[in-house]
Amino acid sequence: MKYSELIQAYFERSVALQGYWTIYVLVIGGVLAFSAFRQQKDFVTTVLVCLLYIGFAYKNLGAIEATLGERQALVTAIKQYSASGADTTDLKRIRDVLEPTLTWQEYEGVRNFHVMCDLLTIAFLLAREVRRKKTELATAGGSIG
């Protein structure tokens, strides 16, 4: 594999990783909007939304883990690439500029951030359901007297 192909593959994996994060943020926004605009209390719906969200988050994190692993392997391959022939001077110049920008992310930090966001999302869903129940009880109690 040529150096340029390794670089291209690295950036393709970076774009894929960004895509998984974008989908993740959009799903969280959708779930939170759905919960925030729902007026009627329905614990079963809340539980189903939580379970579906957990399934999505689990698969999303798995995709992020796989893509991050691929990207890390490419960083290693790029840094270990040995040039030969007439392109050595140009390659060294390109490497000196490009390689310091290639980032390495530890999966544990990414996983911890993802799980923290997942727990906060689920906590929000449950808190909204409890709040709807309290609002309904207060409304029902106020109209009796």
Task: Provide the pLDDT for residue 108.
Answer: 97
pLDDT-derived band of residue 68, with 50, 70 and 90 as boundaries?
A: very high
pLDDT above 80: residue 46 = yes
Contact between residue 35 and residue 124 where contact means Cβ atoms under 8 Å apart: yes
What is the rounded CA–CA span in Å between residue 138 and residue 45?
A: 22
Spatial CA neighbour of 69 closest among 95, 101, 108: 108
H/E stretch holding 69 reads helix 43-80
Q: For 83, phi and psi rounded to 5 degrees?
A: -90, 150
Q: CA separation (Å) from 54 to 17, 41, 50, 116, 129?
A: 19, 21, 6, 12, 17
What is the rounded CA–CA span in Å between residue 10 and residue 127?
A: 41
Q: Look up residue 40 and give its DSSP letter.
A: S
| Long-range pairs of 18-21 with CB within 8 A, sequence gap ≥ 24 | 20/60, 20/63, 20/64, 20/67, 21/64
How many alpha carbons lie under 13 Å from residue 113 in its C-beta half-sphere? Answer: 11
What is the rounded CA–CA span in Å between residue 138 and residue 124?
A: 21
pLDDT tens-place string over residues 100-126:
888 888 999 999 999 999 999 999 999
Task: Provide the pLDDT for residue 145.
Answer: 45
> Could you give the domains of the chain?
3-144 (1.20.58)
Task: Provide the pLDDT for residue 120.
Answer: 98
pLDDT-derived band of residue 93, with 50, 70 and 90 as boundaries?
A: confident
